[in-house]
Structures are given as structure tokens and as C-alpha cells.
Chains A and B, each alone.
Chain A
Amino acid sequence: MKSTTNFWQKSPRYELRIAGSGGQGIVLASIILAEAALLDGRCVAQSQNYGPEARGGNSVSEVVISDTEIDYPLAVELDLLVALTQEACDRNLSAIKEGGAVIVDSSLVTKVPWENVASLPFSRIAQKAGDARAINMAALGAVTSFCPIISPESVIRAMAKRLPATKVEINRQAFREALQIAQNLKTEPKTSQREAGA
């Protein structure tokens, strides 16, 4: 998959959406990302939208990152979509800008009619790290890889700030693992849609 940094140079804003179902830690992932962007000295706006369900149901969160003051805090055209369920992917694909990218979980999302896609086994990475719930931090690993305006160091620092101390290590591991897999994926110049094994 192509890195999405070039959008950063063209546009004053970088718009990212994480979509999935309630309980997958969608909102927390976006908060950690926003916190990381802030640590990197950027302007940031994080928002969320969800149904009445505490678990299940559609959950969407957004992060807008900019080097200058952010006027409109919500995404207009996504630079990057992270989809953790098939339904979330189907619903949000139309919001991506031309040339934008999609990151999906390979076991939960199988159909992605889009050109620039990275499919990674976040669920498996999380389970391997020791907690299936770390799927959100695994996804952040891939985000950090494809969107280098966010530094991995800052995401790790943000995790320590926002996660319970006992959970930090497992999540950090899931994050690093996914980051590594995504880096390898990026360096192989093959077809646009990828499946990365783990």
C-alpha cells in the first residue's frame, strides 16, 4: 500500500476515521491517536459518533490533524479509513477521498472494493499479544506506519497516558507487532491490495 504522507503535503489537514462496532475500542484508539498528534506538536480534533448501544452497533471516531489551527473539526474527505467490521467498511468507503487509503482487519473485513488497501490480521496480532481487546492498538500500529505524520514514540507515550497501567504492555506489543508487519508490507512493491500473514 502507498503511504498517505503525500496527502499531508497537498492538504493542510489529514483526516482519518476509525470505524467498527461498539466495544472494539474505536473511540479510545482515536483519542490515543489525537493525544499522540498533540505530543508531536500538531493541532488535532477528535470526535465520535455512535448509536445508543454500549456494545455492538456502529461506532465511528475521527481524528483531524493539521499543522495549523483546525477550523472544521470533523472529516470531510478521508485520507485514511480504518475499518474493523465489514459493515463499517461498507458504510464508510464512500467518504474516502480519491487516492485515499483503507486499512482493514483481514479476518473481519474481506470485501474492500478500493484500490489502496492494506489488510492486516489485527485480531490475531492482539490475541498473540495476550488480549483480543488490543485489536484497536494493533490497528494504530498500521495507521502509524502508513501515516508517518504520527510518530510511533508519541503513540506509545499516549498509550501510557490513556490506558490502565496493567494493560499498557500488552497493547504496546500489539501496536509494535502490527507496525512491523505494516512496514514490511509497505516495502514490498507489489499489487495494491495486500494480505499480510502473521
Chain B
Amino acid sequence: MKHEEHPMRKYLRPNKKMPTIWCSGCGIGIFVQSLVRAIDRIGYSKDDVVMVSGIGCSSRIPIYLDFNTLHTTHGRALTFATGVKLARPHLKVITIMGDGDAVAIGGNHLIHAAKRNVEISAFVINNHVYGMTGGQCSPTTPYGLKTTTSPYGNREAAFDVARVVEAAGAAFVGRATVYHTPLLDRLTEAALRKKGFAMVEVIAQCVTYSGRWMGLASPAEMMTWQRDNSVRVERAKEMSETELAGKMVIGVLTDRERPTYNEEYNELLAEESKV
């Protein structure tokens, strides 16, 4: 029988040993597929793609992918990405961060990258928990959830990552779950194509920790939870706050035109050279 290569195989590093470090049933892999499919559809040259990540389970993604890849420090991927994009603007810069990574330790970098509108496509993989370190409470952990660092229940409200980034000025903000794969594909492609800072919050299951804490025993149960607790943005507009409580609004949350940092900077250079 002829062995047929997976169409996305070309984006995996030929010299990186498998398997990945992710647990079976982890939601990250679904996003990785969505990401390479979007890159493939757009047709970027692999040499022109720079993938920058922070620290955490999802930040291991770039290791396996055959691009210029940079695995940085916890929370600070966007600062490195900003340097790359400004130094060599023709490169397509993508950052991948987790929820603790992007929103807790990297929260300030996240809002500043959005404010500057640097042309970076940022993906925040939100599994509601610190997975790599053992299931501790994160800024997106739902209120009341018991984790290893909130053994009596989390008494803080969860961050709405998408709304924070939107308020900070991002040109594009979307949210999808890995259950809603066609939507995830569309948002990922839109974020990659967007001129300006584009952020997609990707809700993904951590079967080992958050699933356990939420009493959802299997990947299938977790994805069912994603389905049952998501509301399309179009429908959400017709719902009351009470109806939306505890629900995740998914879809394109913001899509606007703003001059990018590179455009502003080029304008500054042009004006300076006239003087």
C-alpha cells in the first residue's frame, strides 16, 4: 500500500523527533492544524514566517514547525516579536502564548502590543489553567473553580482576554474554541491576513488539569462543554447579560482599520527625510 504523506507534513520540522510533549486529548494540536492550514492557504514562504512563543504547553508549538522559531521567556513573547517585526518588516510574525503567559505575567506586554498596533498575529491559547506547572489557577480560571493553588475555590473573576485586548486598541480580535474548528480556521486566517495587531483567543481543553477540576473526565466531554457554553457573537447581541453569564462569545469581536506601528514609523521616517 502506498504511503501517502499528510498534506501539512511539510510544515513539520524534518529533524525534530516526535511525539510532541502534549497529553493525548489536549486541545493544542487542533489549533496547530488550524494554524498550518491557514498558513498554507495564504501561501507564506516558510522562510518569511517567524513564530515567537512564551513559556507553557502551547508555547512549545514552534519547536515542531519548520519556520524561523523563537521560544522566549514567560509572558514576553510579544516584546521579542515587536523587535523582529520592526527590524525586518517583511517577515510574517506570529506569536503563540498561553493564558497565564499572555494575561498574567505578560499582561502589560499584551496591552501595549495592542496599543501600538504592531503587525503581529497573536494567538492566546486559553485552557483556563497553568498546565505545564501542574494545574494551578490562572487569570482565566473560572470563578469558584478549585485548583491546586485555589483549593478552596478561585475567588477572583476571570479575565475576559478578548475584551481587554480590544479595549487596548487591537485591529482584530476574535475568539473560537477548538470544538468550533471551521470558525477557528476562519479566525486564524483572518488574524494572519490582518494588517495590524490581531489577537485570537483560542479556547482549548486541558484534559489533565482543568478538565479534572471542572469534573469533565474526557476530551469529548470537554469539547461538549465548549460547544454548550459558547454563543456566536451574532446571537449574543440579542441576548441579555444574565443570559450571557458564564458563556463564551465566539466569532469576530473586533475588526477595524488602524494605522500600524510600522506605517506610523515609516511616515515619521519620510517626514524626517524631508526636513
Contact flag (A, B; Cβ within 8 A): no
